[in-house]
Structure 1
């Protein structure tokens, strides 16, 4: 206790010193001559004070009544500049995580001081991100981001722990680079956080990126290679980029960061035989980043870029690269500057060799297999084949090429494309045949342009191979082919069947017969009583998209951006009402994802449930109720609460359509969960088993210690500077409450019961008529019973939910009355409810329960007062509106007649003037 008192006195002296120095420096009544020096003293003291202690002191002083009003802006300004310190970012993060109300949620965390670690919640993370990523008004972005970026990148390295690495990636990805004002290219945030990583992996054409190493000697030795980026800087940039990409689900930012690095990442991922640190630190991260980008930006444009740059080794211009990647003898990699000397003006010594091209082709095909869809593969194949055919036709024309035009393609690129075409035809025949329209159209163009002597044409052999691939593919139907294309192919095959070349003629004859009788062969192979309908183009594309999305989601090693993209694909298919969707399968998949602890997955899944509920309300609500009720007792509490949140949003999404069988099933299930009579035998057996194991371990420990087992952190709890007697008592109460939430003796968990009442209250406000009078009356009776019987301290959240449900019912009835809707039932047993609420408001141990009960009593009084006001039934009065004050019970007041008399009419009382009576 002495140490705690000493630390408290130290903090008090610090706050008093700040107040004294601030008073002399900024007091409006102080002399101007002495304020300049006093302000310097104040600034010097603030700068010399330790960061974490200063944050705590300033936060206390900024509370109402602790500092003069004229000093508060200065203290707020000093607090806003804390992140600019060398350790300011981490101190700010730790302070927010320690004091945020949502940071303590577990039993151990409720009773253990925050210096042993805080629970980083999404709310606390969002607040910390706003404090760090947004510069105050007194600091420009050009001064703010250069000061905090080294601290964030240091945390991103992971040396301070995985949790802080995720926090740093969230702040960088969402708080800074995720916003247009600070994350667009050219802004201060982009220059300080994105460019150092990007320019290290791909140095710009003029000037060099951050982290590059240079020769500082005035004399340049031309015999030595100039190192632009050494191995350590390159590995650091890749590690930071990898951590930033995989730590948060932001597909848009991932594509923006990885798009400029497509070619360098390709070179590093296809590096020949990387060993040891070279593979672990450089090649493996580069490969994973490349896969992520290809999955997010899977298109034939991206694949064409890789094919055209299969021989890329570095530089902004691969024809004359100003830098290249080079491996050293120590299994490390460097970026070196090329020397364009005599005889090397085109940088030919840095170009990939033919053997290197052959080695890179299998790597590219493996990437294609794992990341691209069949449609993308077929499209890029058609594009490459079209280019190859055009080049081969131009060469065969017999023209003498005097000089290569500047716009002609690089011969190395042509060779690479030819090799890729051959490899794709050998490895992906089924994938290429998935787009028969493109294949047949291309083959038709080739055969038509072959001329009168096509038998010697190399392109003709390729066209015949394509025809064979398309015609023999499963699911091919002649009736689906364009008649003009089919007619052209048949005429070309008829001509080729008469060719003197026996191989060409035999192949053309066989293909012509197969094309002619293909539909008849399929009809004979199938049962004569069954008919098959070929899928439409949309169904084919949707099926490929669906399979791609499932692969993105289901793969265990999918990083967050890829999983997020998969969920987006599923959501788009649902929104477009795709006919290929397997609704039961999607529901099972989404339910399995709800067990994930990642917030971005849960929120996306809940959104998908709400979209599905519009067209499949019964299936969606049944799936959610099965997991929420958890009759088999297999779901953890957190997972059940997430299903409850999904059910809540589905009910709100259904709105007026929440009625009938769906509403009845939901209401019955929620009442069963919220009831105090629920019993869970498996949970009871599990709890008994855990209690026996704990008792056994305690007995064994007591034998080892020869007495009671000491508490390891007992002294720390007593001596902690933030643990006063009041705070200790409060933490003990919180620990008991949180411990009591868990079900005991097989009863339902209190948190789940409170959740069920909250969902039911929302259902009542959404469509009380859909639930019906029986369900609503039972729910109100249940809430009254909970308030009367379950008075335990840990049941406070349950009693809060009970009062709010009754309040929701009263509010719904009042809204229906205002809208003149007839529900067929109303609020009964008002006296019992009012009496119960009055007792609760006076005696309950929970402050929020008392407040809610008082509010409900006031609502009931207003409801009763509104019942005294009669409603004018004559539709002719005031234009048929029938609204407004008409008559009050106990008073002879008729404002309608008063208006008639004032206008000179006789009124309903034969011209009598209105009379006002005073009563006590």
Structure 2
């Protein structure tokens, strides 16, 4: 079997294995190995790295080849498309990214993962920082985020991948966040004087770490990875985002990236009232509370680690320096009101960034009510045990007074900034009132402070009970406790609050009577619908906001997916189809591929609506979409058909097939496109004329002679894809034929004989009439359509389906003859290979169709890679007449 495997390997792989083994074989003489290494390096340099990655990633698991790959500069791993030298994007496909990720995230045999990842880390970081060609940072982020950090064995904390790619970033943002941190000696740039503090991280290193982290999160927008990386450095990010110095350098290098990453973390975290938060996940309310408790954070002061703090250096940058514990615990430390004012202003401004986020009003309300509860309770509630993060002792009286002052200022500024968002629902107020009244009745203390707190609580209760939207049935537990407390207060000797308590008791009885008559069994369901509507609105805001970063947009798609899985009635299907189509225009491949998955998920509930919308947008009769978007729509349409083959029948299959055939033929005319092409041509001619006048003759072409011939040929092919007469682009025609072929194989029984005949006829005409090099891609699609048809016929025969059409008699001979001619004469190697495969497959299918389905298959069943089974057209082992439908 081994020789057969080698024969099926591409020549490139054979050469890599042969020369790679000779180049690193220790049994060979040194001179021979050096010569072979030169040939091996020349081979790798001769081909694009993208080609090597796609075709031979598995072979690089060889230890020596992997070592060579890790030593090669990753900056050369770029796709160099020959498109006349004007291509500005790297153009790396998703398949190539997956191959590269698989190659680089798997340590070679015989090499420790720590050594492997540390060897490639510097090169990947270089690309992540934008030091390669355009969009190479996305490729590096994909490899790091998906291939390495996405795998538990390498990407979990403490694992080799985490140590090589996460800890270097974290160490520069929060030196204490990395366990066993060795406090590095000062860099060469530092000038130390006797007694001066030790600089741990320079401003340039801190800015680079923030930039690397931001690029990693936005170029590989996976919500779980974002939360995993951002939560440990929550407070350092807040400190940088709220830095008091207001300069352009501080804003661009430190404050803005830190603020954007904090915003991502808030938006990805569940709401304080979300069920996910109740299950133990950190909610956005928890994050805001942690920030509020550490609003003036500037560094760590934990007993088991060295102290550090952020500080502005003489050049105006933010650096990290080691802090003296004696300074932290000094009794001479004074309260800095300017720092507190700045921090509270920044906190209010930060919350204001979420004003257009529908569900964020809940967070504002929860936070405000929590602050109110601290001031209304007569007895100080026991503080939750928290990690000491401020640069002061926990018992420090100044620290306690500072916390109370910060809370008071935040409450005051929240009432000014968000007056209509402080109370989100009545249950929050009732819960606060219940706690205040319970505290008062339990202590039974008389005093001005206690009376004032109860008076405020009773006033809040009166507002809730007199609200026309209040329904007591939703808060029965709170109301029962409140009623008991009001009964106890009404019997006390406090004239003002006693009278108020009695009046409120009467009001409660009245409301209970009214609510009882209005109560319906659907109350719980109504609450659930409200939560679902909030989730839906939140998802739409994430996807439609112009400033939503990639991880947040992915989170929006995840929220909608949850609603689709539950078949929620709140979903507006036409609006979702428009939304998903717009997301397909996203430049980030991760996001638009996720949008395609959303189309598939929605089609499982509404196959006809989704398929109809996709084919209309794919045909694009109004010319609203560009080529890339139409190709993505085609990919979505294909996957919807493949995931719902039984729905591809009847009117849906007919309309889709007709649309695909219209695109694949040469009948399509696009007047808007033609006008744009004419304008572009005139502009180009004008530029060339001006250039020729400037050069006083022909424009000199500066190309390397070795690349020029290949570049010229490929440029001619690519330029031929866009017609100057307003006809369909060759690429979209090839895409339509490919989709139709796959649809045939998915459910050929759903298509009529007329559609199938037109599809085969169109393919034959393309193979015989469109013979230029630029149309090779559509000839390949035409051949593959016939191949899919043969597979579909064989599947139908083996399953006993009677289609009423097929290749028989003269039609089979004609198709075989034409394909044989194409195999001998076509100028494209892949077209000739596909034609050869289909001819062999047709012969095998014809022979197997003569054998009853119960008889063992002939040895021709595996020809041309087709899974051909005998007995086509036969049922129960009996021969039936084969009928060919002719127009």
Does residue 170 of structure 2 align to residue 177 of structure 1? Answer: no
Per-residue Cα deviation, 1:313-372 (whole angstroms, up to 9, x for no partner): 31143999822223345423333333334xx67356668645533432232233334357
1:309 equivalent among 285, 294, 312: 294
Q: Which moved more, 1:371-380 or 1:789-798?
A: 371-380
CA distance in 1, matches of 2:647, 2:747: 8
1:712 equivalent among 701, 707, 728: 701
Per-residue Cα deviation, 1:368-396 (whole angstroms, up to 9, x for no partner): 3435723444445555555666672679x
Does residue 474 of structure 2 align to residue 481 of structure 1? Answer: yes
Does residue 139 of structure 2 align to residue 197 of structure 1? Answer: no
2:236 equivalent among 264, 274, 289: 264
CA distance in 2, matches of 1:678, 1:20: 50
Does residue 742 of structure 2 align to residue 755 of structure 1? Answer: no
Q: Compared with structure 1, are the counterparts of its residues 483 and 197 closer, same or farther at alpha carbon in structure 2 (3 Å cutoff)? A: closer
2:838 equivalent among 838, 847, 856: 856
**Offset of 1:746 from its aligned partner?**
2.1
Does residue 822 of structure 2 align to residue 840 of structure 1? Answer: yes
Question: Does structure 2 retain, via aligned residues, the 8 Å contact 1:444–1:485?
Answer: yes
Secondary structure at 1:392's aligned position in 2?
coil
Q: Compared with structure 1, are the counterparts of its residues 514 and 773 closer, same or farther at alpha carbon in structure 2 (3 Å cutoff)? A: farther
1:656 equivalent among 638, 646, 650: 646
- CA-based RMSD: 4.7
TM-score for the superposition, normalised by structure 1: 0.75
**Offset of 1:498 from its aligned partner?**
10
Q: Which moved more, 1:619-628 or 1:783-792?
A: 783-792
- Residue 347 (structure 2) aligns with: 364
**Offset of 1:578 from its aligned partner?**
2.8
- Residue 867 (structure 2) aligns with: none
Question: Does structure 1 retain, via aligned residues, the 8 Å contact 2:378–2:440?
Answer: no
**Offset of 1:301 from its aligned partner?**
2.4
- Residue 73 (structure 2) aligns with: 89
CA distance in 1, matches of 2:252, 2:23: 58
Secondary structure at 2:310's aligned position in 1?
strand
Q: Structure 2 matches for 1:356-395, cutoff 5 A?
A: 356-371=339-354, 373-381=360-368, 392=379
Does residue 565 of structure 2 align to residue 566 of structure 1? Answer: no
Question: Does structure 2 retain, via aligned residues, the 8 Å contact 1:553–1:563?
Answer: yes
1:107 equivalent among 78, 83, 107: 83
Question: Does structure 1 retain, via aligned residues, the 8 Å contact 2:487–2:502?
Answer: yes
CA distance in 2, matches of 1:231, 1:20: 44
CA distance in 2, matches of 1:268, 1:472: 46
**Offset of 1:606 from its aligned partner?**
0.4
CA distance in 1, matches of 2:613, 2:289: 44
CA distance in 2, matches of 1:849, 1:588: 37
CA distance in 1, matches of 2:190, 2:769: 86
Q: Compared with structure 1, are the counterparts of its residues 585 and 514 closer, same or farther at alpha carbon in structure 2 (3 Å cutoff)? A: farther
**Offset of 1:603 from its aligned partner?**
0.3
- Residue 7 (structure 1) aligns with: none
**Offset of 1:600 from its aligned partner?**
0.8
**Offset of 1:309 from its aligned partner?**
1.9
1:692 equivalent among 669, 672, 682: 682
- Residue 69 (structure 1) aligns with: none
Question: Does structure 1 retain, via aligned residues, the 8 Å contact 2:201–2:319?
Answer: yes
Question: Does structure 2 retain, via aligned residues, the 8 Å contact 1:325–1:333?
Answer: yes
The unaligned stretches of length 5 or more in structure 2 are 1-14, 48-58, 271-282, 383-392, 516-521, 856-873, 882-887
Question: Does structure 1 retain, via aligned residues, the 8 Å contact 2:376–2:453?
Answer: yes
CA distance in 1, matches of 2:689, 2:537: 55
- Residue 904 (structure 1) aligns with: none
- Residue 186 (structure 2) aligns with: 213
The unaligned stretches of length 5 or more in structure 1 are 1-14, 29-34, 62-72, 396-403, 523-531, 874-881, 890-920
Does residue 268 of structure 2 align to residue 278 of structure 1? Answer: no
**Offset of 1:140 from its aligned partner?**
1.9
Q: Structure 2 matches for 1:398-797, cutoff 5 A?
A: 412-413=402-403, 416-417=406-407, 419-421=409-411, 423-424=413-414, 427-428=417-418, 430-451=420-441, 456-464=450-458, 466-467=460-461, 470=464, 476-486=469-479, 488-489=481-482, 536-707=526-697, 709-713=698-702, 716-718=703-705, 720=706, 728=709, 731-797=711-777
**Offset of 1:547 from its aligned partner?**
2.6
CA distance in 2, matches of 1:431, 1:75: 58
Q: Compared with structure 1, are the counterparts of its residues 584 and 365 closer, same or farther at alpha carbon in structure 2 (3 Å cutoff)? A: farther
CA distance in 2, matches of 1:754, 1:613: 24
Q: Say how many residue pairs are matched.
A: 799
Per-residue Cα deviation, 1:849-884 (whole angstroms, up to 9, x for no partner): 3333333333333333344345799xxxxxxxx989
**Offset of 1:97 from its aligned partner?**
2.5
Q: Compared with structure 1, are the counterparts of its residues 818 and 842 closer, same or farther at alpha carbon in structure 2 (3 Å cutoff)? A: same
Q: Compared with structure 1, are the counterparts of its residues 611 and 698 closer, same or farther at alpha carbon in structure 2 (3 Å cutoff)? A: same
Question: Does structure 1 retain, via aligned residues, the 8 Å contact 2:223–2:555?
Answer: yes
TM-score for the superposition, normalised by structure 2: 0.78
Question: Does structure 2 retain, via aligned residues, the 8 Å contact 1:361–1:420?
Answer: yes
Question: Does structure 2 retain, via aligned residues, the 8 Å contact 1:267–1:312?
Answer: yes
CA distance in 2, matches of 1:731, 1:602: 31
**Offset of 1:887 from its aligned partner?**
8.2
- Residue 868 (structure 2) aligns with: none
Secondary structure at 2:599's aligned position in 1?
helix
CA distance in 2, matches of 1:158, 1:786: 44
CA distance in 1, matches of 2:838, 2:188: 78
